[in-house]
Amino acid sequence: MVQGTASSVGKSIVTSALCRLFRQEGLSVAPFKAQNMALNAYVTADGGEIGRAQAVQAQAAGIAPTVDMNPILLKPEGHSRSQVIVMGRPIGSIGAADYHTRKPDLRDVVLQSLERLRAAHDIVVIEGAGSPAEVNLKDRDLVNMFVATAADCKVILVGDIDRGGVFAAFVGTLELLEPDERARVGAFLINKFRGDLTLLEPGLRFLEARTAVPVLGVLPYLPDLRIADEDSVSLDERARRRRAREDEIEIAVVRFPLTSNHDDFLPLESERGVVVRFVERAGDLEGADLVVLPGSKSTTTDLRWLRERGIAEAIVARARRGGLVLGVCGGCQMLGGRIDDPDAVESGDRAAEGLGLLSVTTRFSPHKRTTQVRARPLTATFLSAAGSGEATGYEIHMGRLERAEGSAGPFVIHSRNAAATSDVDGAVSPDGAVVGTMIHGLFDNADVRRVLLATLRRRKGLSPVDPATEPAPPADEFDRLAAMLRERIDLSLLHRLCEP
């Protein structure tokens, strides 16, 4: 099991690395996280919703994601409330205090999922959440030492040295654990180290002597890792990125307070000559080649924020000038007309007016659509051209679009969860400058990226990218992680920690 001294210390990435390492050793491996709190989600093949991190870890393990890998997902809605998803299905919006009282009833759900994974695989890599030393929450723990005890496994405790105070964090965490919990900590793992390792050695020896717990290894800081990060903390660094040069494309993604699935844009960030910035001010849209309104956990709440910040006005003015604007899921709904939420499914706002740039209206209902989709281009847009291939992705939304008669959409969805359909997706403005889609994961498709970037370069007066000059495809990031792990940790100690 991988636990951490705090949130955002790198537990998810370490878990992914371990999944790939064990897979390379010929083992059948699966990830598991009992309870996840994240606005980045993924849809499994049977339509269940899980945290994006567990889908990524399943990819590292070489298996299809299932709801057992993340039986409980909390999607924050602000004001100490979250939508609670159990075994892939929402059970309602619940306040923090109320959910805390319900936790004991969910323990059987957690244990049953874990048992199914253990029965199906040689090894399960379990990820904790936050810190196991949060003493105010320990009596109703669902995700840290409760799971370690149930699995009867050793714990690798990860600490982030880049934020400082890692030795105090390790020692303090152990100090706050009960004796039986402390005995489960089999090793420390220091993450995000920059500098001369020899200068760290005295601290490592002190830590081992003080705690009698060995150090598994020291992992380096890895910039520009091309693996989706579920934590919105990663957006802080992405928001500080430089502006694009004259020979580069700049894509400005509006960072809502309740942005969801920000990992949609990670494939674009990895493209040569592209700068993707997450912005929160109207002035930051100026000069961008494309402005994106991403997904949102509360469409009307984030729409109100857009207006308060003056961003809504700036986007409308941009569209009127022919500047390109893209809306994804909640962003697509915002670009349309009226938004009705009569049952207060997403927020207390029963109705709101959108930006009026697309000929669609939205109506929320208690039923959530979570599907994997296959789609074909319907209209030539800056996302798709004549002859473009099939695109895959997934839908996660409770609002349904109603399209004005005669209005176009960018794609037609011909398959949902492997069932045939023929639904038009999203909407396109008459001049083609504004496109809305309800499909997440579109930029994982090479054809979609190719058409978009070619359009943006042409509009900026840049020559097309010559495929012959393109660098070789990057190496598999999970293989890169596993190789780094092999170089930096004590593999014999790792294997001993995994023994029954």
d(CA 174, CA 145): 12
Alpha helices in 370-459 (DSSP H): 446-459
Q: Closest Cα to residue 298, out of 238, 393, 362, 252?
A: 362
Catalytic residue among 329, 367, 397, 414: 329
CA distances from 293 to 274, 302, 335 (A): 18, 10, 9
Does 297 have pLDDT greater than 70? yes
Catalytic residue among 121, 262, 397, 440: 440
Is 440 annotated in the active site? yes
d(CA 371, CA 47): 5
Does 231 have pLDDT greater than 60? no
Does 235 have pLDDT greater than 60? no
- Digit-coded pLDDT (tens) for 56-101: 999 999 999 999 999 999 999 877 789 999 999 999 889 988 998 8
Confidence (pLDDT) at 228: 67
Contact in structure between 413 and 373 (CB atoms under 8 Å): yes
Does 329 have pLDDT greater than 60? yes
Confidence (pLDDT) at 403: 87
Rounded to an integer, the average pLDDT of 256-284 is 92
Least reliable range by pLDDT among 168-177, 207-216, 377-386: 377-386
Rounded to an integer, the average pLDDT of 170-189 is 97
Is 329 annotated in the active site? yes
- Digit-coded pLDDT (tens) for 115-129: 999 999 999 999 999
d(CA 28, CA 361): 47
Rounded to an integer, the average pLDDT of 193-213 is 95
Contact in structure between 387 and 346 (CB atoms under 8 Å): no
CA 130 from centroid of its chain's CA atoms: 16
- Digit-coded pLDDT (tens) for 375-416: 999 989 999 886 678 999 999 998 889 988 888 899 999 999
Q: What band does 229 get if pLDDT is binned at 50, 70 and 90?
A: low
Confidence (pLDDT) at 179: 96
- Digit-coded pLDDT (tens) for 6-64: 999 999 999 999 999 999 999 999 999 999 999 999 999 999 999 999 999 999 999 99
Does 239 have pLDDT greater than 80? no
Q: What band does 168 get if pLDDT is binned at 50, 70 and 90?
A: very high
3-state secondary structure (DSSP) of residue 277: strand
Percent of the chain with pLDDT over 70: 94
Q: What band does 470 get if pLDDT is binned at 50, 70 and 90?
A: low
Confidence (pLDDT) at 238: 58
Contact in structure between 116 and 32 (CB atoms under 8 Å): no
Q: Which residues pair with 365 in a beta bridge?
A: none
Confidence (pLDDT) at 387: 67
Angle at 152 between CA 54 and CA 488, to 5 degrees: 60
- Label residue 337 exposed, middle or buried (CB < 10 Å: 0-12, 13-18, 19+): middle
Rg (CA), the chain: 23
d(CA 42, CA 30): 16
Residue at token pair 């709904």: 333
d(CA 475, CA 469): 18
Q: Mutual orientation of helices 11-24 and 52-61 as an angle, nearest 10°?
A: 20
Confidence (pLDDT) at 234: 55
- Label residue 497 exposed, middle or buried (CB < 10 Å: 0-12, 13-18, 19+): middle
**Phi then psi dihedrals of residue 154, to 5 deg:** -80, 155
Q: What band does 222 get if pLDDT is binned at 50, 70 and 90?
A: confident
DSSP state of 375: E
Domains of the chain, CATH where assigned: 2-225+478-497 (3.40.50.300), 234-469 (3.40.50.880)
CA distances from 167 to 9, 43, 211, 215 (A): 13, 38, 11, 11
3-state secondary structure (DSSP) of residue 118: helix
Token pair in block for residue 336: 């349309």
